[in-house]
């Protein structure tokens, strides 16, 4: 009697690679991050020094340095040099995105106009959400900023810094951290590429627009906030283009 023989397929040895051990620096970065988040450490909290961490983890300082570099690139810590320096808890989570876009700018794949178009997609939505979501403490920050600007109407640098801060406050007042991170990354790159664009009359003009935006935030008028911020972005975009041509 003939029997059916089941055919079997065999996998040759060497198909699977051995598991890779995680680097000490990666493990330490994860542990530090876990400590920061679980203990809810405040922004600006001074962490132990490289030497102290090396002793605690029983590794070399170069391993600690690499772990801190990972955390700094993720925006979770800020490392300052000098006598008043140290390792501080941070919250610049937009830095990785900003760094990636910055590389594209360096290669010529992204232009200032691309950045403005991105702002036009992101910031009007942020303004609408800020008009709906802004809390009393958010409105107080806006009010304090505008009052400070009113005291420095003859200082274009100070006015420019405050006008820039206005947009970052707007992003944070939206209540949407994803939108805030996206805007901050794009916005800071625009600032870095237009640092020489300073004009007292223009900064006073932008301040007036920001006062109007603040007013509609207080009145909780999302559509008005959206309209004003779009006009503000288009205005800045036009003036920078004109400035670059003259220069």
pLDDT, averaged per 10 consecutive residues of the chain (247 residues), comes to: 51 54 86 89 91 93 94 90 89 88 95 95 97 97 97 96 95 94 93 86 96 98 98 93 71
Q: What angle do CA 172, 204, 134 make, to 5 degrees?
A: 20
The residue to which tokens 């420019």 are assigned = 160
Predicted model pTM: 0.74
**Domain ranges across the chain:** 24-89, 95-246
The residue to which tokens 């876009």 are assigned = 101
Rounded Cα distance, 198 and 207, in Å: 13
CB 130 within 8 A of CB 173: yes
From the candidate CATH numbers 1.10.3720.10, 1.10.3080.10, 3.40.50.300, 1.10.10.10, the one assigned to the domain spanning 24-89:
1.10.10.10
Topology annotation, domain 95-246: 1.20.120
Q: What angle do CA 48, 54, 58 make, to 5 degrees?
A: 135
Give the model's pLDDT for residue 5. 47
The encoded tokens of residue 17 equal: 């690679």
Within 8 A by CB and 6+ apart from 218, the residues are 139
Give the model's pLDDT for residue 194. 84
Q: What angle do CA 143, 168, 133 make, to 5 degrees?
A: 70
The 3-state DSSP class for residue 91 equals coil
> Do the domains 24-89 and 95-246 sit in the same CATH topology, yes or no?
no
């Amino acid at each position: 009697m003939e029997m059916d023989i089941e055919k079997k397929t065999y996998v040759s040895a060497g198909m699977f690679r051995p598991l890779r051990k995680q680097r000490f620096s990666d493990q330490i970065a994860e542990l530090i991050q876990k400590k920061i988040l679980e203990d809810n450490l405040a922004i600006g909290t001074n962490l132990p020094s490289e030497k102290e961490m090396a002793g605690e983890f029983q590794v070399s300082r170069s391993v600690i340095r690499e772990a801190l570099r990972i955390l700094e690139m993720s925006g979770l810590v800020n490392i300052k040099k000098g006598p008043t320096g140290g390792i501080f808890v941070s919250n610049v989570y937009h830095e990785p995105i900003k760094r990636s876009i910055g590389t594209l700018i360096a290669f010529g794949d992204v232009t200032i106009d691309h950045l403005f178009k991105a702002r036009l997609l992101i910031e009007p939505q942020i303004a609408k959400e800020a008009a709906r979501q802004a809390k009393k403490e958010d409105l107080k920050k806006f009010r304090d900023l505008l009052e400070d600007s009113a005291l420095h109407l003859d200082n274009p640098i100070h006015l420019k810094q405050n006008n820039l801060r206005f947009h970052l406050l707007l992003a944070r007042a939206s209540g949407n951290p994803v939108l805030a991170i996206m805007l901050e990354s794009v916005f800071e790159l625009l600032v870095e590429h237009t640092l020489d664009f300073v004009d007292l009359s223009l900064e006073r003009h932008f301040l007036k627009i920001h006062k109007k935006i603040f007013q509609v935030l207080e009145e909780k008028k999302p559509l008005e906030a959206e309209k004003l911020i779009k006009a503000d972005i288009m205005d800045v975009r036009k003036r920078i283009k004109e400035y670059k041509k003259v220069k």
